[in-house]
Structure 1
Amino acid sequence: MKKGLFILLLLVSLVSFSQEKENYEKVLSELETFYNEGDYNAIYNMFNYTMKKAMPPLKTNAFFGDLKNSLGDISNIEFNKLTDKAQIYKVTFASEVRDLMIFLDKNNKIGGLKVTYHRPKSLKEIERNATKMILPFNDSWFVFWGGIEKAQNYHIDYENQQFAYDFLIRKDGATFKGDPKINESYFAFGKEIIAPCDAKVVKVITGIEDNIPGEKNAKQITGNTIILETSDKEYIMFAHLKHQSVVVREGQFIRQGTLLAQCGNSGNSTEPHLHLSLQNTVDMNIATGGKIYFERISVNGETKIDYLPIKGDVIKNIGR
């Protein structure tokens, strides 16, 4: 799942940031001027060859035009922090604040640019769940994406959903039987999704149709969605739920094991599955993800205590 206005970066080796900071400030000042004046061709001319190839004039104009229509002019750009491959600035637009990640090559040309939601420094990152949890379903499910390494879990690349899971059901090595273009052919479709712990329902998104398998809805990323808040202020997100299957409401307090909804194929999903993630805030746009360990589950037929499932595991609640 991806969200936000962005230009995907092509990042290469950098020289010392301490030597580049003054140059970054100069480039950012020019970028702000050209953006506010609507001179997007001038911004294009600030790109290096690789960036120009990735963002030709029409694409550059469309991107910055959409950005300005959505957020308005820039009133302030303030240095925020360094990363291994870029510098991040806090940018105040007319309507809201965003983060700008920017990389300059050795010729002070823009080689990477990315606009993301601004994460307030007051938000504390979350390492893992403190609340004891069961799996959010009955029956045996397959971990399609899960773990703390990129090879096991593509979500690692996305800070707001790092360590998230994608669960589905497999039988004899397949996830469906029958017509692959029908959701009902998939073993996970319509399966009950339950609360992994006592919690409060803090966000519900409904009314989104399930996709035809193989297609996806990139405009409504998480599809039908539920977010729970634990007593430890942990936020658990359930995404891609089945259309018209959500049976809880915002503000409701629920017990572990309570039925929430059914597994579906809504949002940015190509086949029925459950996306489960732990966040440090209810807003996915500014969240940082954390690891979810489950209290006592069966993993490939063996009992595991306080376990973080990884790609390829077959998992099930014990005693349910």
Structure 2
Amino acid sequence: MISSLFKPEEFGEMFKNEQFEEIYSLSSKDFQDLISLEDFIELSMSFNEGVNYYKLEFKSILKGLNHYIWLDDRESKAISVSVDKNLQIQSLLLKPYGASVESDTVYTKNKYSMPIEDEWVVYWGGANEMVNYHYTYENQRYAYDLVKTGKDNGTNKDTDYLNENYFAFSKDILAPEDGKVIKVIDGVKDNVPGEMNANNPEGNYVIIEHANKEYSMLAHLKKGSIKVKTGEQVNEGQHIGHCGNSGNSSEPHLHFQVMDSADLEKAKSIRIRFKDDYEPIRGDTISNKKENKDSFEDRVEKAENALTFTDFILAIPRAIAQIFK
């Protein structure tokens, strides 16, 4: 039974005070099946060594889960926790805080718009692994995964096994900047939600060549929806296709990235400079409407401070397992 006294915002304090049995009792059965209480206590005590306190640095709500990230007083360790509406802990990650990589300081020469209409939500995005699942893969490091959500922050209505029930499915996907279409792949069927196609990881996709030898990719598009052809010149905001669930994707969403080559095996992902000088990260609601937003410098700081990590992990993350490799 979940304690009604549990306050997720105070998890960092609970962990520092070594309330490990209580934390374990608040975790999901999946987590408890992964690790015993004894092992959890041993690993947690080891992680706590040298820590004076943990400070809550980041909070977001996505797909019915509240996500929290804490940093220790020396900013050398990070804790990430996801809690559901019943106050049950669904994921717990303990990681050393890692230094950023050199590519974090390199931005696209061009400025881009998000390739969407209306409001979407960043499911994965940012300059570290804590907020961006792609970060460990150099060819996808600064990619974005975008979904649409409803009033309860869920990505679908009614049953979750029909693509048509997902708010993102069939929504228009647009060109993020002027350019020339140099590759179009269509004909890959859309998955049943929960299933993935690892043999065609990008699914249906379009690559556009832009000025300064930069290349954008729009992936996991709906089968038969792509409106452009190889060699066609496109303008920013032009309709490219519809959001789908093709490829290594577990539910309808858009994968968007900019890279230094059209060769997906050799390309390196480039951190995107956006036209509104706003760099969104995981949990942000985005649109192409002009609004009063933080400065570009403030967003860069937020994106970088939301943490990077490597090595030690305790986790049963409920996340979209759609990245292509």
Q: TM-score range by the shorter chain?
A: 0.5 to 0.7
In structure 2, what is the Cα distance between the partners aligned to 1:290 and 1:194?
19
Of 277, 284, 289, which aligns to 1:318? 289
Residues 313 and 146 of structure 1, relative CA distance in 2, 3 Å threshold: same
Percent identity, please: 45
Cα deviation for residue 291 of structure 1 reads 0.8
The structural deviation recorded for 1:168 is 0.3
Change (3 A) 1:126 1:228: farther
Match of 2:223 in 1: 243
Query: 1:83-106: per-residue Cα shift (whole Å, max 9, x none)?
Result: xxxxxxxxxxxxxxxxxxxxxxxx
Cα gap change, 1:190 to 1:159, in 2 (>3 Å): same
Partner of 1:198: 178
In 1, Cα distance between equivalents of 2:240 and 2:184 = 10
Aligned to 2:262, which of 275, 282, 287? 282
Matched-pair contact (CA < 8 Å) for 1:148–1:163? yes
In the TM superposition, residue 216 of structure 1 has moved relative to its aligned partner by 0.3
Which residue pairs with 2:205 in the alignment? 225
Distance, in Å, in 1 between the alignment partners of 2:134 and 2:285 is: 19
Query: For the structure 1 residues 228 and 234, does the alpha-carbon distance in structure 2 shift closer, same or farther, using more than 3 Å as the test?
Result: same
Note if contact 1:126-1:280 (Cα within 8 Å) is conserved in structure 2: no
TM-score, length basis structure 1: 0.57
Instruction: Quote the residue 1:272 is aligned against.
Output: 252
Question: Among residues 137, 150, 163, which one is paired with 2:142 in the alignment?
Answer: 163
Q: Which residue of 2 aligns with 1:139?
A: 118
Instruction: State the partner residue of 1:23.
Output: none
Secondary structure class of the residue paired with 1:307: coil
Contact 1:126 1:290 (C-alpha < 8 Å) held by counterparts: no
The residue type paired with residue 139 of structure 1 is D
Deviations 1:156-202 (A, max 9, x none): 11011111000000112100001211000000000000011111001
Deviations 1:242-298 (A, max 9, x none): 0000000010001111100000000000000000011110011111111112212xx
1:149 aligns with 2:98: no
Instruction: Give distance in 2, aligned partners of 1:246 and 1:178.
Output: 27
Match of 2:106 in 1: 127
After TM superposition, list the pairs within 5 Å mapping 1:40-79 onto structure 2.
Answer: none
The one-letter code matched in structure 2 to 1:158 is Y
Give the AA of the match of 2:158: G
| Alpha-carbon shift at residue 319 of structure 1 (Å) | 5.6
Q: What is the alpha-carbon distance in structure 2 between the residues aligned to residue 241 and residue 212 of structure 1?
A: 14
> Which whole-Å CA distance do the structure 1 matches of 2:258 and 2:290 have between them?
24
Paired residue secondary structure (1:232)? helix
Name the SS of the counterpart of 1:261 in structure 2.
strand
Structure 2 SS opposite 1:286: coil
1:217–1:267 contact (8 Å) kept in structure 2 = yes
Amino acid aligned to 1:316? S
| In 1, Cα distance between equivalents of 2:288 and 2:155 | 20
* Equivalent position to 1:189, from 166, 169, 187: 169
Q: Would the aligned equivalents of 1:213 and 1:271 in 2 still touch at CA under 8 Å? A: yes
Q: Which has the larger radius of gyration?
A: 1
Kindly tell me: are residues 193 and 309 of structure 1, through their superposed partners in 2, closer, same or farther at Cα, counting changes over 3 Å? same
Following the alignment from structure 1 to structure 2, what is the Cα–Cα distance between the partners of residues 268 and 208?
A: 11
- Partners in 1 of 2:132 and 2:104 — Cα distance? 20
What is the one-letter code of the residue matched to 2:211? S
The answer to whether the aligner puts 1:295 opposite 2:275 as a matched pair is yes
> Structure 2-normalised TM-score?
0.56
Q: In the alignment, which residue of structure 2 is the partner of 1:49?
A: none
Displaced runs of 4 or more, over 4 A: none
Provide the secondary structure at the position in 2 that maps to 1:130: strand
Whole-Å Cα distance in 2 between the matches of residues 126 and 283 of structure 1? 23
- 1:174 equivalent to 2:154? Answer yes
Question: Counterpart of 2:109 in structure 1: which amino acid?
Answer: A
CA RMSD, 1 decimal: 1.8
C-alpha spacing 1:198/1:247, structure 2 compared with 1 (3 Å): same
| 8 Å contact from structure 2 (residues 243, 253) kept in 1 | yes
